[in-house]
Structure 1
Amino acid sequence: MAGPGLELPATPAALWIWLRGDDRGEILQRARRIERILAPAFCLEETRDAFQYDGGRDLSGYEDGTENPVGDAAMDAAIVGPDCPQLAGSSFVAVQRWLHDLARFERMPADDRDLCVGRRRQDNEEIDDAPASAHVKRTAQESFTPPAFILRRSMPWAAGNRGGLMFVAFATSFDPFEAQLRRMLGIEDAIVDALFRFTRPQTGAYFWCPAMHAGRLDLSPLRL
């Protein structure tokens, strides 16, 4: 997908696995076991360690996922409902690895940083008169037709002195992701999301997460 002066990378893969836990060593051992089970049908392409930072903030210091739906609304946004019996209980997920130019970000005046995001870093309050390019203005989920609700589960990542955000978001189809990305890129109105001033995605892939039935993955939609 491309917009004025920008192009988002597409890096598809056959399988995506997300391991979570507090013990890094235990996660490593689980990852090695899974890799052995899947070989030789699957070859490991990339791994990326992510972590929680400062109570749920991005490495930029801003809170992430502020507009996430909660409760039943979160389920409705992320999990396919009974109106689509074949896919009920499953989810569609978008995964992107964003690389922040932290040095450039730190050189920006504090007010400019806030206007890029559309929120004040100090108290997370939305800036009502933020420019149309502010990230919160570009991605306001209820402003799309139909609304583009997603459930974000993003986490920061770091390697050496480089870092950014592993953007992970779930929805009932790929349409909400596509709608938000198109607006961020300014495809419809040529207004590019100000977030691109200090961060860019390095990868981008879509996956389908099967439902769980009786403690096992339900792969019947794939006729497996």
Structure 2
Amino acid sequence: MSDTPPLSQAVHNTTTRHAIFMVATLNAVAGAAETVRGWCEDVANLVRSVGTRAPEQNLSCVCAFGSSAWDALFGAPRPAALHPFREFGSGERVAVATPGDILLHIRADSMDLCFELATLLRNGLGDAVTVVDEIHGFRYFDRRAIIGFVDGTENPEGREAADFTVIGDEDAEFAGGSYVLVQKYLHDMTGWNALTVENQEGIIGRHKLSNVELGDDVKPSWSHSSLTTLEENGEEVKIVRDNMPFGRPGSGEFGTYFIGYARSPAPIEQMLENMFVGRPAGNYDRLLDYSRAVTGCLFFVPSADLLESLASREPAASEAAVAPSAAGAAA
């Protein structure tokens, strides 16, 4: 066996100017599983074919699978921490679970490359899947969210990014893989813009113009920054975010597509619990008074090597009968 670690997918690539997020569910049609498995072998080739036409545009694609889809398509063994999306919160403040079996996260510095690759990848899946969500994201000024604050400031970089996102010996059979959680948030921009800048800064926990974090003596414990900062044994636990704004001004739709990568779902789920339930309970993220989660899915990202080899992997007959998730039910 080679000592070379498996090659990861483009999990911690540099943030680009454009992205397409596509979530699909498996269809109960003859040959669907075989189509998807064969398609796995083509993903990297399609990325290369499109990307070499304009290498300076930094085209990449991450392909990931949900819990039920993994069982139906590939069977055992399965990634140790893969499970259905877990809902958090109650009433009008809920991190909802929604259907999702396959995720494509396509990035480039020009939308035409994203569009071309998304078209080719979608065509390759044929009637094996139904696309249930598709968002075209864009960089907004100096990497700001629609709400006007810089996004992703605390992302780890370089070797640290890999350490926080890439599975190692803790699940050796799936080394080089990652977990990714996605949510689509819609913002009440009328309500948000009615706030003073000072109030907005308290909710986020940062100065709006400079992006400098508020001091601990003035930053509220319910600020977004406070509740999404995690520590374990005195060290900060980080994830890699590559969120993108999206919107349709003519329809009054303004949002953020949250996408977080980690080597375990646990830190992202803890952040969501802190936001939607509170730390302590009731001390929730006040950004949620103006932002509503309308989707939620958890996926496993196989290493690039494993993704290609999945084309020849078939579950046992008893496992193959397991239907993919139709509702993304919470655990």
- Is TM more than 0.5 here? yes
Shift in Å, 1:148:
4.0
Tell me, yes or no, if structure 1 residue 153 matches structure 2 residue 237.
Answer: no
* Residues 69-218 of structure 1: pairs in structure 2 closer than 5 A: 69-128=156-215, 129-142=218-231, 148-160=237-249, 161-187=252-278, 188-213=280-305, 217-218=308-309
Task: Give the aligned CA root-mean-square deviation in angstroms.
Answer: 2.3
Q: Structure 1: how far apart are the matches of 2:180 and 2:202? A: 28
Unaligned runs of 5+ in 2: 1-86, 316-331
Shift in Å, 1:191:
0.4
Which amino acid is 1:27 matched to?
A: C
Which amino acid is 2:120 matched to?
A: R
Shift in Å, 1:13:
0.8
Q: Structure 2: how far apart are the matches of 1:162 and 1:144? A: 41
CA contact (8 A) 2:94 2:293 kept: no
Which stretch of the first structure deviates more once superposed, 3-12 or 39-48?
3-12
Name the SS for the 1:55 alignment partner. coil
Which amino acid is 1:165 matched to?
A: T
Aligned residue for 2:329? none
Q: Which structure dedicates a bigger proportion of its chain to helix?
A: 2
Unaligned runs of 5+ in 1: none
Aligned residue for 1:3? 89
Distance 1:114 1:90, change over 3 A: same
- The structure whose Rg is larger is 2
Shift in Å, 1:204:
0.7
Q: Structure 2: how far apart are the matches of 1:145 and 1:218? A: 39
Shift in Å, 1:210:
0.7
CA contact (8 A) 2:88 2:272 kept: no
Shift in Å, 1:126:
1.1
CA contact (8 A) 2:138 2:246 kept: yes
TM-score by length of 2: 0.62
Aligned residue for 2:48? none
CA contact (8 A) 2:222 2:284 kept: yes
Which amino acid is 1:201 matched to?
A: A
Q: Structure 2: how far apart are the matches of 1:90 and 1:151? A: 14
* Residues 59-70 of structure 1: pairs in structure 2 closer than 5 A: 59-70=146-157
Q: Structure 2: how far apart are the matches of 1:144 and 1:200? A: 32
Distance 1:223 1:51, change over 3 A: same
Aligned residue for 2:39? none
1:14 maps to which of 101, 105, 108: 101
Q: Structure 2: how far apart are the matches of 1:144 and 1:218? A: 38
Shift in Å, 1:21:
2.3
Q: Structure 1: how far apart are the matches of 2:90 and 2:171? A: 37
Distance 1:13 1:81, change over 3 A: same
Q: Structure 2: how far apart are the matches of 1:67 and 1:143? A: 16
Q: Could you tell me the percent identity over the aligned residues? A: 27
Name the SS for the 2:171 alignment partner. coil
Q: Which structure dedicates a bigger proportion of its chain to strand?
A: 2
TM-score by length of 1: 0.90
Distance 1:199 1:165, change over 3 A: same
Q: Deviation per CA, 1:86-113: give whole Å up to 9, x if none.
A: 1110010001111111111110011100
Shift in Å, 1:219:
3.2
Which amino acid is 2:292 matched to?
A: R
Distance 1:144 1:32, change over 3 A: farther
Q: Deviation per CA, 1:16-65: give whole Å up to 9, x if none.
A: 11222234334333322222211221122221100111121111111111
Aligned residue for 1:32? 119
Which amino acid is 2:139 matched to?
A: Q
